[in-house]
Amino acid sequence: MRYEPDPIEEARRRFAGPVSFMLSAPALEFLPAPKCSEIAFAGRSNVGKSSLLNALTGRQGLARASTPPGRTQELNVFEVGEPLVFRLIDMPGYGFAKAPKDIVARWQALVFDYLRGRAVLKRVLVLIDSRHGVKPVDKEVMDILDKAAVSYQLVLTKGDKIKPTELAKVLAETEAAARTQAAAYPQVLATSAETGFGIPELRAAVVQAGEAA
């Protein structure tokens, strides 16, 4: 009898292998050649993107949080697998109110150029702080992804910071929001980088998207 591989175990093995930071790209032309699939991470500044990337890869310090939040203005590229299987792209945070308008404009131009001009982009993971749910600025980004016809999945972060009943409510509300968006993946994942809750499922989703034909 042939058994199908366990997606969570397969993903654990994938991330147990080589994962490394490659480069930071201030513009699209500085990105490496598009020779493999890419999974991008987007989210409001201070949503916990760096912590989630570190938990996902099982490597503390691989992605470094900026201080203060919102300083990251480049596309950070991480490579998974040896030989290379897929790349993770850490996009600049959005919605940081204290950033100068010219910096915000540069962020937006970089992100939009990437979304429009990267054919190997398989999925964007849009991170939502579970304590706040989908904010108007998140909805704006989701609408942009819809217009760009880029597949994306909503991921709740910091799930350990609220009570389980509250998390269940936010999860249901976020799933309802996803159903109204044309390019949103129907399943919403709840995670905690601190406790590891939901990280195995997130790994499986990333590997599935990154290794899809």
Q: Which residue has the tokens 């915000």?
A: 104
- C-alpha distances out from residue 176 to 29, 127, 145, 170, Å: 37, 16, 17, 10
φ, ψ of residue 139 to 5 degrees: the values are: -60, -40
Is the pTM above the cut of 0.85?
yes
Arithmetic mean of pLDDT over the chain: 89
User: What mean pLDDT comes out for the span 100-110?
Assistant: 76
Q: Which of 21, 29, 23 shows the shortest CA–CA distance to 110? A: 29
Q: How far apart are CA 87 and CA 205, in angstroms?
A: 14
H or E stretch including 177? helix 164-179
pLDDT for 134-163, tens place per residue? 999 899 889 989 988 899 999 999 999 999
Kindly give the residue spans of alpha helices, DSSP state H, lying in 82-130.
101-117
Peptide bond into 18 cis (omega under 30): no
Q: Which residue has the higher pLDDT, 70 or 99?
A: 99
pLDDT for 42-79, tens place per residue? 999 889 999 999 999 999 889 876 545 455 578 999 99
